[in-house]
Amino acid sequence: MGNYYSDLGPDFKKRTVKLDSIPAYQYNEALADEYKNKKISKEEVSELYESMLVIREFEEMILKCRTGAYEVISDYEYRGPTHLSIGQEATAAGACGMLNITDYITSTHRGHGDSIAKGFHAIRRMTEAELKTRCPELSHLAGEDLREAVMEDHIYRTIAELFGKEEGYGKGRGGGMHIADFRVGHLGANAIVGGGIPIATGAAMSCRIDEELKGRVVCCFAGDGAYANGVVLESLNWSAQEQFTGEIARTKYGLPVIYCIVNNHFGMTGRADGEVNGVDYLARRAAGFANNNMHAEVVNGMDVMAVREAITRAKKLCQDGKGPVLLELDTYRYYGHSLSDPRNEYRTREEEARWKEVDPVTVFRKRVLDAKILSDKELTALEERVAARNARAARKAADSPDPAPEDVIKYMYTETSCDVVPAQFQNPPTFAEVPRAKRDADGRTTYRDAIKEGICEEMLRDKRVVLYGEDVADYGNAFKLTKGMLEAFGRDRVFNTPISEACICGTGVGMSMTGYRPVVELMYMDFALMASDQISNQAAKWHYMTGASTTVPMVVRCSVGGGKGYGGQHSQSLESMFAHIPGTYVAYPSNPYDAKGLIKTAIRNNNPVVFVEGQLLYNAKGVVPEEDYTIPFGEANIIREGSDITFVVWGPAVEDAIKAADMLAEEGVSVEIIDPRTLVPFDWETVFESVKKTGRCIAISQCVDVGSFTGEIVAQVTANCFDYLDAPVLKVGAKNGIAPQAHTLEEVFLPKPADMVKAAKSLM
């Protein structure tokens, strides 16, 4: 721990806390000397220059497309976002040039260059067999002809994605701001500023604990604007946790992640320097998160050799278990935030001219010539080849097919699940007795223990299942649901987190994309609003935006505390909000049997699942088999059959609905009770068949009535069962207000059996 802490008690002795210095612009080597000393070969010099050229050619094509000046496709009308990175080529080429095919990157909305560079250098390193596997249609080629054809395919698929084409990297679903290529470790560009940084952090968590991923690093590109963002700072704090490397760590290995701040000095139009920052160098941020400053360094981002050298050292630190590393790459973008931004309102031509004097492409070309590594003729031939390749790829992309309109929501969900665990993840080690649910003589256990047993069984089944959240380790979570799991499975698989809900969920996305199956916990569902970007914009969307190139098999456990007097920020039933987000599944068990079966299904499913747990149900008992079983999503449970009216109800409201049905039965009214168990997917057929039989329907939940999913049930039943209805479809929910703390107010805030009875009688 820090030097202010002692096991014997506090130590308030007067002292000064000293911070380490941060090196800046340390690289000052001549290219000729590097070449002479065999630190770089002619082939590597050529590769670096070509990499920057490919990016520059691509970006200038976008610029010309807007005005029709790119002659080869002057007949094509390009529409979509245009965030150019001209001027920043050295950051992408210098970094990706030192990464292996299997190393990972995440990028930003201005990420074309990073994507091109990652693919470019990966293709340069592929064997002939790997090239043919990547592009089987090119298997008739060999040698450099094959490599060149695969490279052109890379540029083609990049342009096709930019153009929204079916043959783009994401089948046109994500576009340029969300481009990804998982085959070479590119986990996606992100249109949410800073949104990819927790994903990169999660990917590094996978690399930290997985023996097959050991040695890989994650290179995370994000602009200077991102480093004022909350989830970004949460990620830096997360990555530097002492529990990864300190005394309590089972695997003493820091996160192998390199945070590359691509500091082009502008967020959008706001200037980082002297305007929205309070520090002279963003690398200073690292001092707030790690005693070693995260090995922070400021690097000349206009010099591809300086970037290359810094990444080489950073990668070595990560592979030695000494990560994370933070590098500030000082660079510049020559154009505005987008092509609609003329940039002359917030910067001068003189400023741009000074930066163009150190242009990464032209300066490197001159250095190559001065060092006599490549001749002008060789460089010109390379430049012509890059331009011709891009032109062919652009023409092909413009002519390629658009996605079919009938496929507009194709890839929203995957229909897959983990039915068979790969051999290397079976039979994971345990370090103490695995907790089992306590059952009474009738085989009953609690809702809490049923969920716990389901998670433990899945962790025993599959090593990739990990559990983390606030206070889930030694303490066993706020409701003691995870007690004993740390001891059984070890701190690599069960661990506490900072109070960082966005980062809890964002790292889960990164782990999911890199092969793991995280179960992340949010102590109260109210806190999901802190994490809503990572759930709704990240977890929910990546399968679709990549054209099914990836899956996000993660479970977000959220407990709902309504009815306990905890007030407006700890009591909200928010499942309707996430049912409104395409790409997520939403499950809400109402009893112990369903709780175990549904949590196991959720963990095995390859879609992100928001798993809602009612705190009022934690002590409820029911018969739960000890053997393995799952409950399919989208299959409702008919709790009670009836003939006069249908109740569609979920969560803790189910018990109240049963009481209401008993009260109505005394008056001769027969109620059919349907618990959908999952709101997404929803079992509409069971509900429709019931309503066609009873002629009446009430949708019931503990959600605030306005905007609740109960309204969707009303709409669908009315539309699909109109000819069978004998009365309007009603809904019963919580009052349209904020959950109160006072007992007398809370008693009338949530729906009660009497409210359900009253609504039913109004229909009879």
416-437 per-position pLDDT tens digit: 999 999 999 999 999 999 999 9
**Token output for 33:** 């000397």
Distance of CA 703 to the CA centre of its chain: 27
* Main-chain dihedrals φ then ψ at residue 46, nearest 5 degrees: -60, -40
Query: What's the CATH number of domain 423-623, 3.40.50.970, 3.40.50.10860, 3.40.50.920, 3.40.50.1000?
Result: 3.40.50.970
pLDDT of residue 2: 46
Q: Are 55 and 92 in contact (CB under 8 A)?
A: yes
Mean pLDDT (the chain) is 96
Query: Does the bond joining 403 to the residue before it have cis omega, within 30 degrees of 0?
Result: no
- Neighbouring CB atoms inside 10 A of 96's CB total 29
> Is the alpha carbon torsion for 493, 498, 501, 502 positive or negative?
negative
Angstrom distance (rounded) from CA 227 to CA 234: 10
Domain coordinates in residue numbering, the chain: 31-401, 423-623, 637-763
Q: At 665, phi and psi to the nearest 5?
A: -60, -35
What SS3 state is found at 166?
A: coil
Structure tokens at 302: 């206009």
Tokens of 84: 């150019």
> Do 184 and 559 contact (CB within 8 A), yes or no?
no
Q: Exposure of 670 by Cβ count < 10 A (0-12 exposed, 13-18 middle, 19+ buried)? A: middle
The rounded Cα 655 to chain-centroid distance in angstroms is 36
Instruction: Choose the weakest-confidence range: 151-160, 330-339, 467-476.
Output: 330-339
Q: How is residue 231 written in tokens?
A: 């989830």
For residue 745, pLDDT over 90 is answered with: yes
pLDDT, mean of residues 146-169? 97
Give the per-residue pLDDT at 5. 53
CA distance 324 to 260: 11
Q: How far apart are CA 174 and CA 179, in angstroms?
A: 6
pLDDT digits (tens, 9 = 90+) for 348-406: 999 999 999 999 999 999 999 999 999 999 999 999 999 999 999 999 999 999 999 99
| Average confidence (pLDDT) over 622-643 | 98
Eight-class DSSP state of 266: B
Which three-class secondary structure state does DSSP give residue 608?
Answer: coil
Tell me what the mean pLDDT of segment 518-541 comes to: 96
Which range (64-68, 106-110, 234-238) has the least confidence? 64-68
Token pair recorded at residue 156: 């083609």
* Cα-Cα-Cα-Cα dihedral sign, residues 290, 295, 298, 299: negative
Mapping DSSP to helix (H, G, I), strand (E, B) and coil, where does residue 138 land? helix
Confidence band (pLDDT; 50, 70, 90) for 759?
Answer: very high
Would you state the pLDDT for residue 282? 96
With pLDDT > 70 as the criterion, what percentage of the chain qualifies?
Answer: 99
Q: Annotate 419-486 with DSSP letters as a single string.
A: -S--GGGSS---SSPPP-----TTSEEEHHHHHHHHHHHHHHH-TTEEEEETT-SSS--TTSTTTTHH
**What's the rounded Cα separation, in Å, for the pair 211 and 567?**
46
Whether the predicted pLDDT of 442 surpasses 80: yes
Helices (H) and strands (E) in the chain, counts: 24, 20
Instruction: Quote the pLDDT of residue 68.
Output: 86
For residue 6, the model assigns a pLDDT of 54
Q: What are 261's strand-pairing partners?
A: 222, 328
pTM exceeding the 0.85 threshold for the entire prediction: yes
Question: Left, alpha or beta for 328 (phi > 0: left; psi -120 to 50: alpha)?
Answer: beta
- Assess whether the region 31-401 and the region 637-763 belong to the same CATH fold: yes
Neighbour count for residue 286 (Cβ, 10 Å): 25
Say if residue 324 is preceded by a cis peptide, omega within 30 of 0. Answer: yes
Residues 2 and 290 sit within 8 Å (Cβ to Cβ)? no
CA 204 to mean position of chain CA atoms: 13
> Is residue 1's pLDDT more than 60?
no
The residues near 14 (Cβ < 8 Å, ≥ 6 apart) are none
Q: What one-letter code names the amino acid at 209?
A: I
The predicted structure's pLDDT at residue 325:
98
| Model confidence pLDDT, tens digit, residues 183-232 | 999 999 999 999 999 999 999 999 999 999 999 999 999 999 999 999 99
Class of domain 637-763: alpha beta
Q: Does 248 score more than 70 pLDDT?
A: yes
What does the pLDDT read at residue 11? 84
> Which residues are within 8 A (CB) of 698 and not within 5 positions of it... i.e. 6 or more apart?
645, 646, 647, 648, 729, 730, 731, 732, 756, 759, 760, 763
pLDDT band at 516 (very low <50, low <70, confident <90, very high): very high
Could you tell me how far CA 546 lies from the centroid of its own chain?
13
CATH number of 31-401: 3.40.50.970
Judged by average pLDDT, the poorest of 331-335, 367-371, 563-567, 594-598 is 563-567
| N- to C-terminal Cα separation, the chain | 68
69 or 341: whose pLDDT is higher? Answer: 69
Catalytic residues: 501, 570
